[in-house]
Structure 1
């Protein structure tokens, strides 16, 4: 008689390959290849830490299988969709236990909803990344359009937003959704499905891009949104980015297949006098631009009393930094901006954490304020340095960073989205 394993699986049809699950898993149970993200059955301990941060819900899938015959990593890497639950005949081959057939009839999760134990596990991780939105965040709609029925959007704008000729060419692309409802919030993302097939002849999977425009559109009161996309060129044996080059080469009038929206936690606060600290590099500026522009529009309307806005923005050089010109035009009494350039000729290397330490007094005061919300977005390599800077700043102000960071996480006030 076979014992039953509740095997944790990832749905390849709706997974957008954002790497959130692999980066979150505390035991290294998740791996991937060029096509799929999969769970190692012999490593996964069902801690559930990966479930809340997943933007699509693709991570929350389970199948009852014989303990002696779980789906292997190799099998999962070859899937285009999840397998059906094992049939009675399948179980009979393995010496079906008394309750296996009824238990296997419906795929289920070992935890019906995210339990307190899962929250505790996530809160104990060093990143302090919140899985809940701020209490005043707007309601986020998610998964309105999937890979089997993507929404067709029309390109209405495509311009380079850093200096021409720079190595990291970055574009601002505006998509119009016509009459189809596609509500988006600052901090959410969408998936773009590039046309064509990969080397194995299978359709390309969607790539995830953060929204760079506020909730009422790139053009206010229009059903459109913008993306910030860096062209990924071929280098050191790696092929060029399939989707980034596709997007950067789009012309006005072209159509694009999109899915989503995704994300329900990396959202901005909406209550008066709430403070926002934004820390980003490169295209991680997309959600920061969206949040800043929404606050700017609210301020212009005279109907919102905002708190402080601080932006720490890193790039290799001023020429490579997206949106440098428009950022320079924002009023100083509206937003406090600090650039960090790591490759300026003749200048010492500066990173966002260096600029944060220079403003330690201001940041320490904000850390003491329960209305402060922190957002970090950019390359994974920046995360450790940013968190260490926050720890140092807190300790310099006689604050217990572990207590402060944990409280901010529980209250949905500290969000990290790195890749």
Structure 2
């Protein structure tokens, strides 16, 4: 997603409280946490696929103004309406290396959130309009492609269609790449929610885990796509297929490269992709 902040983005704020913070990645890998937030504002309502903003108060390493960062909501709406809304976000603790000095700096928002304890107040903005629109037709095919914490909106979608809608008639396919692996994030003994949906005949997830030092989430996603390109390509031939892409622009480039090869040329794939966009069957949430 684009993390630049519009001028009016900070005017729509609401208070939240941390209710839960759990590490969902193994201790010997990058720290990824599922952070639960409770919002008491009765005006706050969200839909699957939307994002919220987190305001980090100054002063911090880069100034005194609040730092603003967007995160996708990772859970579906509660079936029961309530004055208190609970959402979950997935946060990877990030560090950045200065290219000149080589000095390491902690990511402002990710470290602020990963360090937060239950009971800590958090100021939110949003929610913001979703880049993803779930089709109303239950026989639509859903092709979801994501890397790293880009899985967040897809987790919400999958919860929604199988828990709230009690199933989905079309194919639901999740293509995922990460340094930790989908099974380590959401198919372990504690966080087995995605594994639960394998009982549904329409749902399958494909993943590649980065096992080599220096191979990042985008490269792991590229491996997933290469290994299962035929499945994705076959779905793209069906006019009932909707594509949802979440991750970095590198992930988008990798997808374009693989599908252009299957299409026979870049021009053919570009035309096919544009047709899906024109039909509102292609949506993406990309960040640098």
Structure 1: segments with no counterpart, 5+ residues: 1-15, 20-55, 59-80, 82-142
Deviation, 1:414, is 1.4
Aligned to 1:318: 181
Deviation, 1:230, is 0.5
Q: SS at 1:280's partner residue?
A: strand
Whose helix proportion is higher, 1 or 2?
A: 2
TM superposition score normalised by structure 1: 0.58
Relative to structure 1, the CA distance from residue 161 to residue 154 in structure 2 (aligned partners, 3 Å threshold; closer, same or farther) is same
Deviation, 1:251, is 1.4
1:257 aligns to 2:120 (yes or no):
no
TM superposition score normalised by structure 2: 0.83
- Do 2:2 and 2:286's aligned partners in 1 also have CA atoms closer than 8 Å? no
How do residues 5-154 of structure 1 correspond to structure 2 at under 5 angstroms?
A: 18-19=3-4, 58=6, 146-148=9-11, 150-154=13-17
How many angstroms apart in 1 are the aligned matches of 2:62 and 2:210? 39
Residue from 58, 71, 88 that aligns with 1:226 = 88
Aligned to 2:139: 273
Structure 2: segments with no counterpart, 5+ residues: none
Relative to structure 1, the CA distance from residue 329 to residue 297 in structure 2 (aligned partners, 3 Å threshold; closer, same or farther) is closer
Aligned to 1:183: 45
- Do 2:15 and 2:41's aligned partners in 1 also have CA atoms closer than 8 Å? no
Give the alignment's Cα RMSD to 1 decimal. Answer: 3.0
Aligned to 2:152: 286
Relative to structure 1, the CA distance from residue 353 to residue 393 in structure 2 (aligned partners, 3 Å threshold; closer, same or farther) is farther
Aligned to 1:245: 111
How many angstroms apart in 2 are the aligned matches of 1:280 and 1:393? 20
How many angstroms apart in 2 are the aligned matches of 1:388 and 1:353? 10
Q: SS at 1:330's partner residue?
A: helix
Residue from 208, 213, 217 that aligns with 1:340 = 208
How many angstroms apart in 1 are the aligned matches of 2:183 and 2:109? 20
Matched length: 273
Deviation, 1:261, is 1.2
Relative to structure 1, the CA distance from residue 237 to residue 306 in structure 2 (aligned partners, 3 Å threshold; closer, same or farther) is farther
Aligned to 1:375: 244
Whose strand proportion is higher, 1 or 2?
A: 2
Q: Which has the higher contact order (CA 8 A, sep 6+)?
A: 2
From the CA coordinates, give the structure whose radius of gyration is larger. Answer: 1
